[in-house]
Chain A
Amino acid sequence: MGAELGNYKSCVSARSTDKELLKHAQDGGIVTSLFAFALEEGIIDGAIVAANKEFAAKYPSKCMMDNSNFDMIEPWRPIPAIVNTKAELIAAAGTKYNISPNVSLLKEATRSFGLDKIGIVGTPCQMQAVRKAQLYPIGMRDVGASIALAVGIFCMENFPYQSILQLVEDHAAMKLESVKKMEIGKGKFWVYGKRGQVVQLPLKITHKYEQPGCHVCLDYVANLADVSTGSVGSPDGWSTVMVRSKIGDSVWGKAMAAGCFETQPIEKVKPGLELVTKLANEKITKNKKTLEGRATFGVGKALRNPYI
């Protein structure tokens, strides 16, 4: 292999120097801090993020709602939203572990939200969607050139909302509304309750709840983002950051110069890039097998392969 981590210009282990922000962050607060810096500096004038019901109640005009009755929206269901301030960013911080269709706001961000310089955070597949929208802008008029900062997050797979419901309320026996944080790490799915209780599930249990569409994905570390980040490879409370594009390099350089992050060389931290590489290879190998299986799925009939 060798291409499993994509092209990148630099890679470090980092965390935000904003202690207040870190209280709300999933790991090193990279996405929240980087967007906060980019907003402050005018590099972006808004960012598409995954918010939730509490956010939507507070900032209703910032969200793209689906057809659900607002009262019926469940805790931990992600709602794509556009944030313009640090307070809004912090209100939307943290990983949701189920599908947030952030790209659905990409065009509207330039229309009714009036953004000229969009920030967007997303999974590797969403970064692929963003780049396809820039190179093949079939239904994305005047959008491509407005994308000012695309931050990708490492992703092994995602879950539909009903899967998270099942995992938390059935397997972990906790009410979703009482959950403070969810996390995948050290080979386990962790659920932290608001009253301090912690439940861990072996990842083996979670596999059957994964979204099927994820099983053809050949990207673990958001190869097409400007900057990609994730907890894997770095110590607790830190995140691994890969700077990939010219835009990413410029924004990350400015954020470092402004003291937004403290960093450690990735070579010096445990478990380091070795683990990232291992997991990337695992994902890609497994999903390549899925693609091969799809080619001979029926009797003389294949399932569709989006890559050919």
Chain B
Amino acid sequence: MADKITVGYTHLSGCTGCTVALADNYAGLLTLLDKYVDLKYMPTLADARHIQQVDVSFVEGSVCINDKLAVEEIKETREKSAIVVALGGCACYGNITRFSRGGQQNQPAHEAYLPIGDLIKVDVYIPGCAPTPQMIRNVAVMAYLLLKGTKEQKDLATAFLTPLMKLAAAGTSACFCELMTNVINQGLCMGCGTCAAACPVNAITMEYGKPQGERDLCIKCGACYSQCPRSFFNTDVISQYEAINEAIMAALQ
């Protein structure tokens, strides 16, 4: 179809969990590829692997700065994509690659890893480890509407993506501490428990109605803070949840 958007997938130092999450959309992924997305390159799911000119590229994994190829690839991704989406905790915030101290068997040394935002400008973040199939789906549909939709759909997509763009602009470090500094310390926490549910490693428990983080367990994926209703809450978009969810589901039929 002529009006598909072109999408690429750059795979850096990530565990392929983000790829699996994308694939876990099952039939939804096939519909996406049928109707909306022309997947130009992707190491695991497409024949073409090398970076090409695309509308949107998803990047999985952080950049190993000891690996010349990885550094070149992230730069090339930026140069050849209109929109760069950091997919998953590693690309956004470093995630567990933040804990790398080198010494792996594969040599020459792979020791120093950076979230992609430390090397290039990133437009949209999808935090979390692994990011969820539903979140990837929603962002993919919104990216399509942003580029190919009617004026009304473009406005909706812009409003939907704005908080994720603000997350991308806000920086490349995340951990449970973000909940403390940006929510609790700011007098915004009301004890709903969302962070505890969102944490993939159960590092957060609710004590007397407030989150208690086990910071040794935190893998720095950014899910707790970005899922928190007091990190961002764009009322005008979220209050249309019913219509938006229905539209996304209908689009993927």
Contacts and interface: CB of A to CB of B under 8 A. Distances in A.
Interface in A239-282: 245-246
A185 interface: no
Contacts of B232: 306
Given A223-B239, A224-B241, A307-B235, A139 B128 contact: yes
B171 interface: no
Nearest to A211: B190
B197 A140 contact: yes
Contacts of B164: 136
Interface residues of B, number: 57
A106 interface: yes
Interface stretch (B103-111, B146-154, B206-214): B206-214
A14 interface: no
A133 B227 contact: yes
A231 to B, nearest CB: 21
A67 interface: yes
A232 B5 CA distance: 51
A131 interface: yes
A307 B234 contact: yes
A103 B191 CA distance: 9
Given A122-B192, A137-B134, A304-B182, A132 B242 contact: no
A77 to B, nearest CB: 8
B200 to A, nearest CB: 7
A108 B223 CA distance: 16
A211 B133 contact: no
A113 to B, nearest CB: 12
Interface in A50-75: 66-68
A138 B238 contact: no
A180 B229 CA distance: 33
Contact of A139 (B187, B198, B207, B229): B198
Contact of B135 (A101, A137, A303): A137
Interface residues of A, number: 60
Given A103-B194, A132-B227, A139 B132 contact: yes
Interface in B114-151: 126-128, 130-135, 138
A161 interface: yes
B227 A138 contact: yes
A297 to B, nearest CB: 10
Given A128-B233, A128-B238, A307-B235, A104 B188 contact: no
Interface in B190-247: 190-194, 196-200, 205-210, 212, 221-224, 226-235, 237-239, 241-242, 244-245
Interface stretch (A17-25, A38-46, A194-202, A213-221): A213-221
A99 interface: yes
B192 A102 contact: yes
Nearest to B245: A134
Contacts of A144: 134, 245
A172 interface: no
A212 B238 CA distance: 23
A104 B193 contact: yes
A66 B229 contact: no
User: Top 7 A-B pairs ranked by shortest CB distance?
Assistant: A101-B193, A104-B193, A139-B198, A99-B209, A139-B223, A213-B190, A99-B191
Given A66-B206, A132-B194, A216-B230, 18 more contacts: A103-B192, A125-B190, A129-B228, A134-B245, A135-B160, A135-B241, A135-B245, A136-B164, A136-B227, A137-B135, A139-B127, A139-B223, A145-B134, A213-B188, A213-B189, A216-B187, A224-B241, A306-B232
25 contacts: A6-B239, A66-B207, A80-B206, A103-B193, A103-B194, A104-B196, A129-B193, A135-B138, A135-B244, A138-B126, A138-B226, A139-B127, A139-B200, A139-B226, A140-B198, A141-B21, A141-B130, A142-B134, A144-B245, A160-B191, A160-B210, A216-B230, A218-B235, A303-B186, A304-B188
